[in-house]
Structure 1
C-alpha cells in the first residue's frame, strides 16, 4: 500500500481553519450567536441512513459528522477522519479517525461507520438511499442491497477503533466526494438498538456532530444546540441553530423581513430583482447543483400514453423554459435542456438539438408528434401533474398546464404535502410529477446515476446502453465524454422534461458570516458560521 503521506498531511494541516468559524481581523462578535434558518417542508427523518430529503440532510449535517466535510468552496477536507491513504490500485482506502466522542460521551469508533454502512445497505432497513452505498462501489454492496449477500460482507471493516479500511469493487474517482453525504455518517448502534425508531427524538438522539437536537415540533421547527462533546467545540461560535418550517415562501419572506428568520435560501419566484435593489447587502444569487424537471412515470403503473417516446418528446418540447426562468422565477436560474447542472465540476454540457430551436418551432414539432401518436381534438390526451406544497411549485405547474394545453393536452393538478408526494413517487403512484434533484457530491454521476436502471429512478426509466455508459465512466480516467454521451442518450429517450437549473436566490442577514456561497453543493455547517455585532 502506498501512503499518500504528503498529500494527506498537507490536506489535514491546511484545512484546519475551515473546521471552525474564524472571525476576520477587526470583527466583533454579536452577543446573540443563534441562527434561524427557513425550510419549506417538515423534517421527514433525522436518521442519516433513512432520509432522502435535502432539507433533512441540512439538519443531519449539524448533528452528525462523516469521514470528510466540505470547505467553503466545496473541496473535501478532513472530518471524522483526520487523514487517509489509498492503495496503488485505487481499491483500498484506509481512514484514520481523530479522537472524538458521541454526544453522550461514548467514543466514536471505526465500527460505528461499519455498522452505519451495513445498515444502509441492508434491505431490512428499507433505506431509500441503499443505492448510494452501491454507487460508492464498496465491495459486495450491490449483492447486499439485492439481498444476495449478508450485510457483514460489505467491504468496510474496523482494523481497530480508529482505523477504517474500505475496499472497492473497482477504482472510483469520485469516492472521496461521497463521504460528506449523510448516508455515510456513523450511527450509534447501542442507542438505535435500545430506542428503535424513537432514537432520533429530542433527548434520545445521539450524534457526533457539532450540535445536538434540543427540540423538534414536527412541521413547526427543530432546534439544535452546541454539542460540548464535539471534538472541536472550543472553536464553534454559533450556539444554537433553529430550522423554521414555513410552507408558504411569501410568508417566509415576510418573517425574514420582520427579523424572525436570519437566512432564507430559496426566495419566492419573481421577488429577487426587487429585493436585490432594496437590500443589496442581503440579497444574493449563486449557482446551486440542483435541476428541476417534470418526471414521467414509465413503470407498469404509469399511463400508457407516456410509454410512447413521441408523447414524451412533445411534452418536453412544449415547456417554455425562458418564460419559467425570465418571467416566473427571476432569480438567476438557467433554462434546462439536459439533466446535470451546468456548474458541476468537470461537466461538459451536451449539444441538445431542441435547445437550438425557437419556442414556436418546439410547439409545432410537439403538435406534430402528438398527432403522429394518435392524439388530437377527437382523442385528447389527459394527464395529471403532481407537485408538493409550495406557491412556486404551484405557479410552475399552472404554467406547464398552460404550455401543454397549447398543444392539446388536458392537465389536472394534484398538490400533496412533501412526505406524501415523495411516498407516492417512491411507489410510482403518479403520472407526471414535479421533481428536483440536488447533487449528492460534486461530480456529474450524482445526477446521471439517478436514471440508472438500479438508481433512485422513481419513474423507472431503463436503458442498458445508458447503464453501460455509466459503468464505463466509473473507471474512466476522464469520464466527461462518457457523461456527455449519457446525457444525450437520456434526452433522446426523454424520461423527463427538464425545466431549469437552480440558482439560490436568497436573503442572508447582513450580520451573518460563513455562509458558503462558493460551494455549488450548498452544503453548510453552522459550526463554521458566526454573527458580528452591528
Structure 2
C-alpha cells in the first residue's frame, strides 16, 4: 500500500488551534490580531454566476460560491497544497489505479444528516450522466475514472462508473490508468457531493435558497439574480467552531469603474482593478493594491468548425493575426497590472511547466508585423481583398479595451476589418459553445495545477474546445502525457504545434490585480489557482 495520509492529518491538526475560546476573546488564535466585530466579507463579481449546482457550474464566479457551499474530498491551503476536506486521507494500491478515501465521521449536511460515500457516488454518476449534460462531464473523463468516457458517450450505464461506496466512510475510486495528479483534481467543484433526496425532490430548483442543502462551511441564504448572493455560516459544518467569517456577500457589478468607486466608498472588501489603473492605485493605496501571478490565460479562439469563416481555415491567416498583436502594448499600456505577455497557451506559473521557446516569442514586434503582412498576402488578402470578420467578447470595459486594441492593430498593420460585438455572459457562453462566432474571446483558469488543464482544452474531444480545433498529433501527445514519467517534451511539442497552427491567439497570462481591504486577513496570494475559501479568511478590527 502507498499511504498518503500523514501530511493530510498533519495539515488537519495544524488548523485545530482555531478554538472557539480564542474567538470568544475577539483575537485571532494564531496571529493575535484583534478581530472586527462584524465578520462580513463583501466582494464584487463581473457577471451573474452560471449555477451553484456542483455538477452544473462552469465559471470561476460560480465555483467560488460552490467552494463555500459544498466541500469535496480534498481542499487547498493558502499555498495551494492539498489538505483534508470531507476526506481525512487516502491510500492507493501498488499501481496507483485504485484510490481509497476515508471520510470523516463528523461531516454533515446542513440539515443535520451525515455526509456519506454514497453522496459522492451519486454526484459523480450524476456528473457523467448524459441526461444531465453537465458542461464539465469531460472533466470526469480527464480524471481517468474507469468507464467515464463510455458512460458520457451513452454506451454504458452510469452504475458502471469506477466509484464505489465500500461503506458510509469509505469511497473507492478505480482509474482506467494511473494519473499522477488525480488527488489534486478532487478539489474541483464537479467532484463535490450532492444530496440525492433534495436533488430528486426539487429537480432544477434544488439550489434555490429555500431548498438547498449543502455540506460546506456556508449555506446560501439569499440570491437575487444579477444583483447579489449571500452565504452564511453553516452551523452543521464539521469545523464551524473554527470558522471566523460569518457572512460572505457577492455583488454583481458589471462596470469595473463603478465597482472601484464603491470599493473606495467602503462598500466592498475586494474588487478587480480596472485596466490601466494599477500603477496609480498602488501609489495611492500601497497596502490595498495587489498584483500576483494567477493560473489563467487570456486568448482569442478561431471558429474552425464548418460554420466558421473560410478564411480561418488557412493557418497563414490565423498566424498573421497572432503575429500582428503587440502584446506589450496590451500588458503594459492597457492592462498595466503585471500581466505577462503570452506566446504559449500554458502560463509560466503552472507547476512543473517549462515555457518552450516558440519562434514568435523570440522575434521583435517589427519582425512579427513584417511576417504577418507576408503571410496574409500569401493567403490572398490585401488592399484589393481585405480580410473581414466579426469578433465577440462578454460585456466588460476591460474586455472592450483589449478588443478595440486588437481590431486597431489589425486594421493599421494589415488592413483587416474586424467588427466588434459584446454579449451578456450567459448568452456569450451559449453562442461560443454553439460555434455562432468568427473569433471569440476566451480565458481559462486551471482546474488543477498541471499543464494538461490548459492543453487538454485544445484536444479534439474537449468539452470546451469551442473553436473545434482538431490535430491527431496533439491528441496523441496529450494521451501519452497522462502516464508519462517526463511530460516536458510532450507539452513542448504540443505548444510548438499550437504556435505553428495557431488555433488560438494567446494574449496574456493573468495576474490577480485587486483592491483588497487591508482589514482582510489571510487572502491566499501564493495560491496561483486562487481557490479561496471564506472559512480561511477573517476581518481585522480597525
- 1:108-147 to 2 correspondences below 5 Å: 108-147=115-154
| Distance in 2, Cα, partners of 1:224 & 1:136 | 30
| Distance in 2, Cα, partners of 1:25 & 1:174 | 33
Q: Does 1:13 align with 2:10?
A: yes
Q: 2:494 aligns with which of 465, 486, 494?
A: 486
Q: 1:379 aligns with which of 380, 385, 390?
A: 385
**Which residue pairs with 2:171 in the alignment?**
164
Contact 2:323 2:360 in 1 (8 A): yes
- 1:122-521 to 2 correspondences below 5 Å: 122-264=129-271, 266-406=272-412, 407-455=414-462, 456-521=464-529
| Distance in 2, Cα, partners of 1:17 & 1:454 | 42
Contact 1:294 1:432 in 2 (8 A): yes
Unaligned runs of 5+ in 1: none
* Corresponding residue SS for 1:510: coil
1:381-414 per-position Cα deviation (integer Å, ceiling 9, x unaligned): 1111100010000000000000111211101001
| Distance in 2, Cα, partners of 1:481 & 1:62 | 38
| Distance in 2, Cα, partners of 1:409 & 1:174 | 43
**Which residue pairs with 2:48 in the alignment?**
42
| Distance in 2, Cα, partners of 1:56 & 1:14 | 27
Q: 2:67 aligns with which of 55, 58, 61?
A: 61
Worse overlay, 455-464 or 20-29: 20-29
1:148-171 per-position Cα deviation (integer Å, ceiling 9, x unaligned): 111110000100111000000010
| Distance in 1, Cα, partners of 2:324 & 2:17 | 48
Q: CA deviation at 1:17?
A: 3.2
| Distance in 2, Cα, partners of 1:85 & 1:411 | 54
Worse overlay, 396-405 or 18-27: 18-27
Q: CA deviation at 1:10?
A: 3.3
Q: CA deviation at 1:106?
A: 1.3
RMSD (CA atoms)? 1.1
| Distance in 1, Cα, partners of 2:423 & 2:415 | 26
Unaligned runs of 5+ in 2: 19-27
Q: CA deviation at 1:379?
A: 1.2
* Corresponding residue SS for 1:344: coil
1:304-339 per-position Cα deviation (integer Å, ceiling 9, x unaligned): 111100000001111110000010000000000010
| Distance in 2, Cα, partners of 1:66 & 1:424 | 31
Q: CA deviation at 1:23?
A: 4.3
Contact 2:17 2:29 in 1 (8 A): no
* Corresponding residue SS for 1:177: helix
* Corresponding residue SS for 1:125: coil
**Distance change >3 Å, CA 321–CA 524, structure 1 → 2:** same
| Distance in 2, Cα, partners of 1:487 & 1:244 | 38
1:22-59 per-position Cα deviation (integer Å, ceiling 9, x unaligned): 64443111100000011001122111111110110011
Q: CA deviation at 1:15?
A: 3.8
Contact 2:227 2:251 in 1 (8 A): yes
**Distance change >3 Å, CA 110–CA 19, structure 1 → 2:** farther
The number of residue pairs the alignment matches comes to 530
1:197-227 per-position Cα deviation (integer Å, ceiling 9, x unaligned): 0011112111110000000001111000000
**Which residue pairs with 1:78 in the alignment?**
84
**Distance change >3 Å, CA 54–CA 18, structure 1 → 2:** farther
